[in-house]
């Protein structure tokens, strides 16, 4: 049934899926390796190989990243969301509904990752106001953002790429075409979140301090330089204590005055007090060999290590961060920021050993110690998402009113078919750059290049499928399946299979693989391709049952204190509910027979 080319193609596809799931390489590297494999095996030619980089969807997505960044700079999202919360009139359910509704509204028009990043602190404040655990609101925050993105073509990169693949096949979809079903899914998800909040989502008790939250196996303690210590008169580099004892000096206290900058070059004096981070075993060795005294023999807590000037904060590595893929040592974190990372936590585990050598990934959270002044600078640094600050001010950046109005204007222009989504979004991105609202270098950082490379490298897969005639080779299988389960049954199989794939594979990659097959299935069965296109658009975006299936799920993992099984318990019922509703309503809103 399958010739050599088909077997090679399916092998490449299978290996790529395993590579994504196992996280063998960064996503963009895996994508480019797949592209290289398709070229080398002759499944695509060179023109097809580079076609993804000039694809309209790729350009549109890049422009929307810039516009989303400009919109988030205004602070409008936080201000509007908190205003809605305050109109809940004290009823917990009403406040929660308004909060989740605002999340869905913003996610329908701007990047949902940016929406969640901004609203994590607002969700924490809301949890305090409602006197519930933060875990009760973080997962609904992610879910509301996901379903909000299904309401418009520009809501997610998945919708944009499937729309472009549909356009290539000769089918056009309006900006608000998805809203018919998307709004229903938003309402159902919000109602489900209220039920899940009470019965399914676990209440993770708040941890009293950040040091306890990170289960720090290292001591944070103070040592005094005695008159007998061989460290006297030497600076930290000269002593070599960092390498000898795997010890980090966080601060020097001299005659009551804290010194937290240029520590490596400070000559140590008698009675200097060093705030150090070190394992228990190495600390005892350090004490005995270097003749220092311990001020305390207990692990220091937040209050002890944070004086009026120094504080502890949590920061998340942003999806566009330049730190991603690099270690703290490689990025020279301490020198660049003047701050110390005490612990690193991924959504899988807390990482404490040799922190400086851990390669950071997007959405890893860092426990950072340092001065208030230097810490404040992180709030405007695009490399980080701060998890504990709620900014309720409207940032009146230059032409802020234009930025707030720009995305609705772009949507309106595209909806009225005055111009294409790509043209409108590209002109909007150029405008905010030309007016200095988002400088060119900032615009470059605002684009999630992982997503861009993933899409551009995976688009030729559709060409490869066409070149080997994959749809024709499985035509008999498609027809046979349809005869057994019917047209709606085939939609259901496509929907739930795609939804399952997107829980473990990139949602965009899943959409690129499944959309051509869905369109060809409709052609083979002489049915309208539109309901099949809609099936892929919705199913590829709806990912609730794993923390790694969708970026927003990964983002709320640490702030919510969740375990992997929490997503399975809460997400699987939502998968079934929304999947069933979608399969039943898609043929109603978009009839199968043209």
Per-domain boundaries in the chain: 4-205+404-589, 217-298
| One pLDDT digit (tens) per residue for the chain, 594 residues | 567 888 898 899 889 888 887 778 888 888 899 999 999 999 898 888 988 888 888 999 999 989 988 888 887 777 777 777 676 666 778 889 999 999 999 999 988 888 898 888 888 888 888 888 888 999 999 999 999 999 999 999 899 999 988 888 888 888 999 999 999 999 999 999 999 998 999 887 555 455 455 554 454 667 888 888 999 988 888 888 888 887 888 888 888 788 877 777 888 988 888 888 776 567 778 888 888 887 654 444 555 455 556 777 888 888 888 888 888 888 888 788 888 777 777 765 555 455 667 788 888 888 787 778 888 788 778 888 888 765 555 556 677 778 888 888 988 888 888 888 899 999 999 999 998 888 888 888 888 888 888 889 988 988 888 888 876 777 677 777 777 888 899 999 999 999 999 988 888 889 988 998 898 888 888 899 999 999 999 999 999 999 887 889 988 988 888 888 999 999 999 999 999 999 999 999 999 987
Phi, then psi, of 342 in degrees rounded to 5: -90, -30
Locus of tokens 């039943």: 584
Compute the distance between CA of residue 392 and CA of residue 83 in angstroms, rounded to an integer. 10
Q: What is the DSSP letter of 162?
A: H
- Residue in 548, 513, 506 with CA at minimum distance from that of residue 28: 506
3-state SS class at 310: strand
Closest among 406, 397, 442 to 425, alpha carbons compared: 406
Bin 440: left if φ > 0, else alpha if -120 < ψ < 50, else beta: alpha
The DSSP symbol for 251 reads E
- What is residue 149's DSSP assignment? G
DSSP 40-86: HTTSS-HHHHHGGGG-HHHHHHHHHHHHHHHHHHTTHHHHHHHHHHH
β partners of residue 386: 315
**Cα four-point dihedral sign 231, 235, 236, 241:** negative
Helical (H) or strand (E) element with 340: strand 340-345
**CA-only gyration radius of the chain, Å:** 27
Give the DSSP H/E element, type plus range, for residue 385: strand 384-386
Note the CATH number of domain 217-298. Answer: 3.30.70.1450
* Token output for 330: 């490689």
Q: How far is CA 382 from CA 78, 119, 328, in A?
A: 17, 16, 16
* Structure token pair of residue 487: 């047209």
Residues 6+ positions from 511 with CB-CB distance below 8 Å: 158, 161, 162, 498, 502, 536, 537, 540
């Amino acid at each position: 049934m399958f010739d050599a080319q088909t077997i090679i193609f399916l092998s490449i596809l299978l290996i790529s899926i395993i590579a994504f799931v196992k996280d063998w390489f960064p996503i963009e590297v895996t994508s480019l390796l797949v592209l290289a494999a398709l070229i080398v095996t002759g499944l695509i030619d060179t023109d097809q190989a580079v076609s993804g980089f000039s694809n309209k969807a790729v350009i549109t997505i890049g422009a929307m990243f810039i516009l989303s960044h400009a919109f988030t700079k205004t602070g409008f999202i936080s201000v509007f969301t908190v205003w809605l919360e305050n109109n809940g009139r004290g009823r917990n359910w009403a406040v929660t509904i308004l909060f989740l509704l605002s999340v869905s509204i913003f996610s329908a028009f701007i990047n949902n990752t940016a929406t969640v990043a901004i609203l994590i602190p607002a969700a924490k404040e809301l949890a305090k106001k409602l006197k519930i655990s933060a875990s009760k609101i973080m997962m609904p925050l992610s879910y509301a953002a996901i379903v909000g993105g299904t309401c418009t073509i520009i809501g997610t990169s998945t919708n944009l790429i499937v729309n472009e693949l549909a356009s290539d096949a000769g089918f056009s979809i309006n900006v608000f075409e998805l809203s018919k079903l998307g709004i229903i899914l938003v309402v159902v998800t919000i109602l489900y979140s209220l039920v899940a909040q009470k019965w399914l989502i676990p209440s993770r008790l708040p941890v009293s301090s950040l040091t306890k939250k990170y289960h720090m196996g290292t001591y944070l303690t103070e040592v005094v330089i005695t008159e007998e210590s061989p460290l006297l008169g030497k600076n930290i580099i000269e002593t070599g204590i960092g390498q000898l004892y795997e010890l980090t000096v966080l601060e020097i206290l001299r005659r009551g005055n804290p010194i937290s900058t240029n520590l490596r070059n400070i000559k140590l004096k008698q009675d200097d007090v060093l705030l150090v981070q070190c394992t228990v075993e190495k600390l005892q060795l350090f004490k005995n060999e270097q003749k220092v005294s311990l001020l305390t023999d207990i692990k220091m807590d937040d209050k002890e290590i944070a004086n009026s000037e120094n504080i502890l904060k949590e920061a998340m590595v942003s999806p566009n961060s330049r730190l991603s893929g690099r270690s703290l040592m490689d990025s020279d974190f301490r020198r660049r920021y003047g701050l110390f990372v005490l612990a690193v936590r991924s959504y899988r585990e807390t990482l404490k050993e040799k922190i400086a050598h851990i390669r950071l990934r997007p959405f890893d959270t860092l426990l950072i110690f340092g001065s208030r002044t230097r810490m404040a600078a992180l709030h405007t640094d695009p490399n980080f998402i701060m998890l504990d600050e709620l900014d309720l001010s409207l940032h009146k950046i230059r032409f802020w009113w234009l930025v707030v109005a720009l995305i609705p204007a772009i949507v309106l222009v595209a909806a009225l078919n005055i111009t294409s989504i790509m043209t409108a979004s590209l002109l909007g991105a150029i405008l905010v750059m030309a007016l200095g609202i988002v400088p060119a270098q900032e615009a470059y950082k605002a684009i999630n290049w992982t997503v861009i490379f993933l899409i551009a490298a995976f688009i030729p897969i559709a060409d490869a499928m066409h070149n080997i005639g994959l749809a024709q080779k499985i035509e008999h299988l498609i027809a046979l399946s349809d005869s057994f389960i019917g047209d709606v049954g085939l939609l259901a199989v496509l929907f739930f299979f795609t939804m399952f794939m997107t829980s473990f594979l990139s949602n965009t990659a899943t959409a690129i693989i499944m959309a051509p097959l869905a369109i060809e299935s409709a052609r083979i069965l002489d049915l309208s391709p539109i309901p099949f296109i809609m099936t892929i658009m919705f199913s590829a975006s709806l990912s609730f049952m794993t923390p790694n299936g969708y970026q927003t799920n990964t983002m709320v993992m640490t702030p919510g204190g969740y375990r992997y099984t929490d997503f399975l318990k809460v997400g699987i019922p939502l998968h079934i509910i929304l999947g069933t509703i979608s399969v039943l309503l898609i043929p109603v809103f978009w009839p199968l027979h043209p």
